[in-house]
Structure 1
Amino acid sequence: MNKFWEKFFYVFTWVAQGSSYLSPRAYAILHRMHHAYSDTPNDPHSPHHTENLFTMMWKTKKIYNEHFTFKVKPEERFSKDVPDWNRFDRFADTMAIRIGWGLVYVLIYVLSISVFELAGTHWWMYFLLPIHFMMGPVHGAIVNWSGHKYGYANFDNNDQSKNSLFLDFLMLGELFQNNHHRLPKRVNFAVKWFEFDPTYPLIKLLHASGIIKMKTIS
């Protein structure tokens, strides 16, 4: 995509993730490391080299912060051509901004449940707020834990990546981890006839509209 759309989606990422915003630059570096070191001790988020889900999340947070703050210089193969807007990242990462998003979520819950009493809403839904506050890390934890522990494998990738078919639709295709690790440049994460990547049609639409340009790889 061109620089305008890169900046647009940088901001759109912030709007979508809100209080749990993750820098596209730092995330891209960790994602490339994950592929290079999949399920080895150097993998930033492997369930097979941490005691439990929470220690995996904490390890990922530590490595993420090292790259977000530029305390660690990544190898060029991990940082080459990644999106980088450090000024915006620093703004989006401020505690005031994160708390502001949290207050927006609380307000939406209060208006939906207590004020307007929308159909289907109940008081116990307030217990979902912590998940909403941390939806970025929660999503990442589900993908990296489940996608490397539960499911089936179409390919032998010399790692523990799996396709968690029943959860995949909820994760918008990201739980086809085994397929993705075998074919990391393939836009459609689904491979078998019974698999469906719900994000792929959206990517094709973005391509058709000229917002992004998919490349054909031989």
Structure 2
Amino acid sequence: MAILIFFVVHWYLSLFVQTFFLHRYAAHKMFTMNPLWEKAFYLLTYIAQGSSFLSPRAYAILHRMHHAFSDTEQDPHSPHFSNNAFTMMWKTKEIYNNVLNNRIEPEQRFEGNYPYWPALEKFGDTYLSRVSWGVGYVLFYIAFATQWWMYLLLPIHFLMGPVHGAIVNWSGHKYGYQNFDNNDKSRNSLFFDFLTGGELFQNNHHKLPNRVNFGVKWWEVDPTWPVIWTLNKLNIIRLKEAKTVKAKAAV
């Protein structure tokens, strides 16, 4: 039972920071927060993602590229230019590492207006950090696993951030229905997106990239939206005025 609880908590906590902090805040700035809360959520992102920590700066740049070049050859992670999800994410990894380590210079329109904590980003990308988190996951499983098959969950812990990204980017641009014609292949893959925190409402998001609630139809439930609404009411974040814009306006 402890293993399953740990897996579910890690899955949803990592998922939350990816959709809330990396996606909706770092890439799109759908809301604002003061520097203290920004540092707190930055640290939470590092803890939640652990061995698969993703740089908010690099994530924001790649995601803005994704909106600008959606489902073209310049898209960092379109499933329509890769044979499978693994090759798609390997391509994404190469672009991510080039951006992270300043080996390429992104277009100026993709830069700026994202949180940046150089010391934490640098440490989070070290082998010391990534391996230490991985060892911690293994030790927890050794202490609490009661069945051999539970150890098969460990690779997901090691790569939790990229696993979420692979699911969203592959499924969200291949399977499901469309509410809007966005001149790309974005889809809404689930009616109630409890597995990826609203991230699989890709068609809605590409039409309305600054809309904080990814659900559009009354029956499309974005599970992250009530959390964001609550944080706004508690004055931890401040929502911006909703705008209806085209997807490419996100960049």
Please give the range of the TM-score, normalised by the shorter of the 2 chains. Answer: over 0.9
AA at the equivalent of 1:95? Y
Contact preservation (8 Å) 2:51, 2:134: yes
TM-score, normalising length: structure 1: 0.93
Contact preservation (8 Å) 2:197, 2:223: yes
Displacement of 1:214 in angstroms is 0.4
Aligned mates of 2:43, 2:196 — CA distance in 1: 21
Aligned mates of 2:113, 2:39 — CA distance in 1: 14
AA at the equivalent of 2:235? G
AA at the equivalent of 1:146? S
Structure 2 residue 131 is the aligned partner of structure 1 residue 99: yes
1:90 maps to which of 92, 97, 122: 122
- The runs of at least 4 consecutive aligned structure 1 residues that moved more than 3 Å come to none
Structure 2 residue 48 is the aligned partner of structure 1 residue 16: yes
Aligned mates of 2:197, 2:143 — CA distance in 1: 28
AA at the equivalent of 2:92? T
The 1:167/1:18 distance shift into structure 2, 3 A limit, reads farther
Q: Deviations over 1:147-182 (max 9, x none)?
A: 000000000000000001157210010000000000
Q: Which residue of 2 aligns with 1:77?
A: 109
Q: Which residue of 1 aligns with 2:229?
A: 204
Instruction: Using CA pairs under 8 Å that are at least 6 residues apart, name the structure with larger relative contact order, 1 or 2.
Output: 2
RMSD: 1.2
* SS in structure 1 at match of 2:198: coil
1:169 maps to which of 194, 198, 208: 194
AA at the equivalent of 2:115? P
Q: Deviations over 1:37-96 (max 9, x none)?
A: 100110000000112211101110010001101111212221121111122111111101
Q: Which residue of 2 aligns with 1:217?
A: 242
Aligned mates of 2:167, 2:200 — CA distance in 1: 9
Contact preservation (8 Å) 2:65, 2:110: yes
Q: Which residue of 2 aligns with 1:134?
A: 159
Identity %: 64
Q: Which residue of 1 aligns with 2:91?
A: 59
AA at the equivalent of 2:105? K
The 1:167/1:203 distance shift into structure 2, 3 A limit, reads closer
Contact preservation (8 Å) 2:192, 2:222: no
* SS in structure 2 at match of 1:210: coil
Aligned length: 211
Contact preservation (8 Å) 2:172, 2:186: yes
AA at the equivalent of 2:144? S
The 1:127/1:167 distance shift into structure 2, 3 A limit, reads farther
Structure 2 residue 60 is the aligned partner of structure 1 residue 28: yes
Contact preservation (8 Å) 1:41, 1:49: yes
Relative to structure 2, which stretch is displaced further, 176-185 or 85-94? 85-94
Q: Which residue of 2 aligns with 1:156?
A: 181
Larger Rg: 1
Contact preservation (8 Å) 1:163, 1:179: yes
TM-score, normalising length: structure 2: 0.81
